[in-house]
Structures are given as C-alpha cells and as structure tokens.
Copies of this chain bind each other. A is one copy, B any other.
C-alpha cells in the first residue's frame, strides 16, 4: 500500500489539481492521511482521511467533532513531545500501516521553522530508514531523499532544474552524467548545488556518496498560466 499525506502548510504552495490527485490516490486504495490542520483541509476538499494525526489544538471543537465523525483512526499527539506531528505521521504510516511509499503535500512554505522540520526530519536516526520512500511535493518542487550509496536519478517531466543538497557533512559525493558534474567532493557542512540539469539526451544521472544524506530537488519556474 502507498500513502499520501496533507500537512497544514499554505494552500498557495499546493500543486495544481491537488484535490484530484488526492481523490485519485484514495480511489486507487492509497492511505489518505491528514496531519493536524491538514486533516481539516481534507474534509474541506470533500475527502475523508483514513488516518489523522496531530494535537489539533488549533481546531475549534466543532471542527474536531466533524473530524471525529469522518475519520476512522485519529491519533492524538502530545504537544511538547519529542516527535513533531510530521515525524509521528511518517513513523505511523511506515510502522503501523506498513506502507511502501509516502507522498507529502502541504509541507512547504509559510513558517520556516515548520518548513525546515519537514525537510530535515529524515536526518534523525529513527527516520533515516524511511527517507528514500518519501517525496515532498509542492507547486514548484519535488524533493526526494537518498541515503549513502549509488542512485540513478530519473528525469521528471515538468521539472527542468535539479538541485543536489547534502543535508549534512558528506564524503565522496559524485554527480556523474548531469549537466554539471562533481567528483570526490567532501564537505563538513551542508551545501545546495542548485540549477543543475539533465543532459539533453539523457533520462538519468548517477549520484553517489560514501557518507551523508542527500536530497534531490526537482524544480521549475512558474509560468504565466500558473496563476502566480
């Protein structure tokens, strides 16, 4: 089973046609998950979450009542706890629901403390095993995570630009077969290698490292029809 989750980030960052994407996912048997205010946003879209996680302290009693009527599995997190709601959601879908992969929407934009938690939570030791099974999507970006090793990075249509991000210290980073290559690079601190691209005729490039988590940020500029 796959899972798709909506967090409470600003709607302005949602991909186009998010409702249709989520509806289609649920119709295909994927687990639909709401995180905190994201659960309410799912109800507002006319979708019933299969699982809702959060402390829900920003919801009115009537909103929480509506959620309780429409969601079979609500897990209340404890504020001032160790795991953030986002981390708790990732652990729950992979451990309790044994899903194979997770697509996250509503994780970007807005408050930067929330945004960076969502981007960097996979660095925690208990989260690293799930990193490669997750993608974070918004209207301009798709983010995928890679543990050390050798990875073939596939082209995604609609996303012409590639950023390679070592989220932490990295040893022997190699970017091979992309427009801009890098060989045997070491760094004690994170770097975003932005504005890279696939070579015109190639559908993939190779990314390797001996140590340090990497992310690939697929991105695109907004076009006029994107309703900036």
Contact = CB atoms under 8 A, between A and B. Distances in A.
Interface of A: 10-12, 80, 84, 108-114, 116-117, 120, 123-124, 140-141, 143, 161-163, 165, 167-169, 180, 188-192, 194-195, 213, 217, 219-222, 228
Given A120-B191, A168-B169, A112 B80 contact: no
B190 A80 contact: no
Nearest to A163: B113
A228 B113 contact: no
Contacts of A188: 168-169
Contact of A117 (B161, B162, B194): B194
28 contacts: A10-B228, A12-B228, A84-B194, A109-B109, A110-B222, A111-B140, A111-B161, A112-B163, A112-B219, A113-B161, A113-B162, A113-B163, A113-B194, A114-B195, A116-B165, A116-B192, A116-B194, A116-B217, A117-B192, A120-B190, A120-B191, A120-B192, A123-B189, A124-B191, A168-B190, A169-B189, A189-B213, A190-B190
A10 B180 CA distance: 26
A182 B149 CA distance: 34
Given A80-B180, A113-B161, A168-B190, 8 more contacts: A110-B140, A111-B219, A112-B141, A113-B194, A113-B195, A117-B192, A168-B169, A169-B188
A146 B213 CA distance: 24
A5 to B, nearest CB: 18
A220 B120 CA distance: 20
A192 B221 CA distance: 27
Contact of A219 (B11, B113, B120, B180): B113
Nearest to A138: B112
Nearest to A79: B195
A167 B190 contact: yes
Contacts of A219: 111-113
